[in-house]
């Protein structure tokens, strides 16, 4: 029997806690245990475990779990849909408060129609101006569309979010249990490792839809770069995990200059390899919605960085071609 332990705290800043005591090598039965006193879980954690559940379902793996019903965070986990997504009944009866403007419980989105309907419903959680909301909606739309177009998962995208009123911050988690970035990008690009796939995926102009640098009219290879950039603009974390690697953008100090760097290897970030293998792709992002300065000219600044990144990538690509 495989064992999976859920720690007491999962956030983007301490994401590595998810690996502690776990190898994520599953046989036909998984025994799930929880930290006995408290579980604080960022939406990225909920999305992560939802993708594991999709993988278990796809491979006929059964689950068992035990949890202390007095854990203070159970109402939050239940309202976010955590236990249901793991295939369990809710541990206790609670009074369900209205989620509007506070959180988006875990949802599965499997097609474009569902995505379009979902985007129309998320304004209440954004708590910001129409222009800023448009930028954040673009993050949701691009990340989910990437799953629908490239993951090849019949379960679609897992998405959830919450709003931290005290810090005026939106926390987002999106996942899938699909083929992963390396296999997806290999259709049109030469990719040797999961790290290389992740770095390619967040490089402007690289897309899994075509080998053409700059993409095409339907997919310009800008979605993940834009998502990383909006996290950087508001001085927050951004994480992407696929296969055996992850890339985590680190926060920057208030007052320091924001640079939208096309080359992710030059970002202030942590890259880890040789991690437990994750079947699919996981993305987490935090966004401060009250930082009006960060949103000023955001689209224009990211657009300039995208164009510069595409030019640099094209130059590098043609330098490597051996014309014979």
How far is 79 from 94, CA to CA, in rounded Å? Answer: 9
Contacts of 36 (CB under 8 A, 6+ apart): 68, 71
69: its two tokens: 């019903």
Give which of 135, 144, 79 is closest to 110, Cα–Cα: 144
Helix (H) / strand (E) element for 284: namely strand 278-288
How much of the chain exceeds pLDDT 70, in percent? Answer: 84
**120: pLDDT strictly greater than 70:** yes
Sign of CA dihedral 213, 218, 220, 222: negative
38 touches 73 (CB < 8 A)? yes
**Each residue's pLDDT tens digit, 181-198:** 999 998 878 899 999 999
Give which of 187, 181, 162, 14 is closest to 101, Cα–Cα: 162
* Per-residue pLDDT band at 305 (split at 50, 70, 90): low
Residue 208's pLDDT is 46
How far is 233 from 252, CA to CA, in rounded Å? Answer: 9
Instruction: Give whichever of 25-34, 125-134, 251-260 has the largest mean pLDDT.
Output: 25-34
**Each residue's pLDDT tens digit, 203-224:** 887 664 444 443 334 443 467 9
Average pLDDT over residues 6-14: 95
Q: What is the DSSP letter of 189?
A: S
**135: pLDDT strictly greater than 80:** yes
* Per-residue pLDDT band at 138 (split at 50, 70, 90): confident
214 touches 221 (CB < 8 A)? yes
Burial label for 135, CB within 10 Å (0-12, 13-18, 19+), is buried
**85: pLDDT strictly greater than 60:** yes
How far is 101 from 127, CA to CA, in rounded Å? Answer: 8
Average pLDDT over residues 7-34: 93
How much of the chain exceeds pLDDT 90, in percent? Answer: 55
**236: pLDDT strictly greater than 50:** yes
How is domain 103-320 classified at the architecture level of CATH? 2-Layer Sandwich (3.30)
Average pLDDT over residues 67-78: 86
Average pLDDT over residues 147-165: 95
């Amino acid at each position: 029997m495989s064992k999976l332990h859920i720690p007491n705290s999962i956030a983007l800043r301490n994401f590595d806690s998810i690996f502690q005591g776990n190898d994520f090598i599953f046989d036909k039965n998984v025994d799930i245990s929880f930290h006995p006193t408290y579980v604080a879980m960022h939406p990225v954690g909920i999305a992560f475990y939802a993708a594991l559940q999709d993988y278990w379902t796809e491979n006929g793996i059964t689950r068992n779990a035990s949890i202390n019903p007095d854990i203070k965070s159970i109402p939050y986990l239940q309202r976010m849909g955590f236990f249901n997504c793991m295939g369990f009944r809710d541990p206790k009866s609670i009074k369900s408060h209205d989620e509007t403007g506070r959180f988006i419980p875990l949802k599965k989105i499997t097609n474009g129609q569902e995505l379009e309907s979902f985007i129309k419903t998320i304004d209440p959680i954004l708590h910001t101006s129409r222009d800023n909301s448009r930028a954040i909606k673009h993050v949701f739309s691009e990340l989910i569309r990437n799953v629908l177009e490239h993951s090849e998962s019949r379960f679609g995208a897992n998405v959830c979010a919450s709003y931290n009123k005290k810090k005026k911050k939106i926390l987002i988690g999106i996942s899938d249990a699909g083929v992963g970035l390396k296999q997806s990008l290999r259709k049109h690009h030469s990719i040797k490792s999961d790290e290389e796939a992740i770095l390619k995926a967040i490089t402007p102009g690289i897309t899994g839809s075509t080998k053409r640098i700059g993409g095409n009219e339907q997919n310009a290879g800008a979605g993940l770069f834009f998502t990383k950039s909006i996290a950087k603009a508001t001085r927050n974390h951004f994480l992407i995990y696929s296969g055996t690697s992850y890339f985590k953008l680190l926060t920057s100090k208030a007052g320091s200059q924001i640079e939208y760097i096309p080359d992710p290897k030059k970002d202030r970030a942590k890259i880890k390899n040789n991690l437990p293998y994750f079947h699919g792709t996981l993305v987490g992002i935090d966004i401060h919605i009250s930082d009006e300065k960060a949103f000023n000219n955001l689209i224009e600044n990211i657009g300039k960085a995208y164009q510069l990144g595409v030019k640099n990538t094209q130059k590098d690509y043609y330098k490597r071609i051996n014309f014979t």
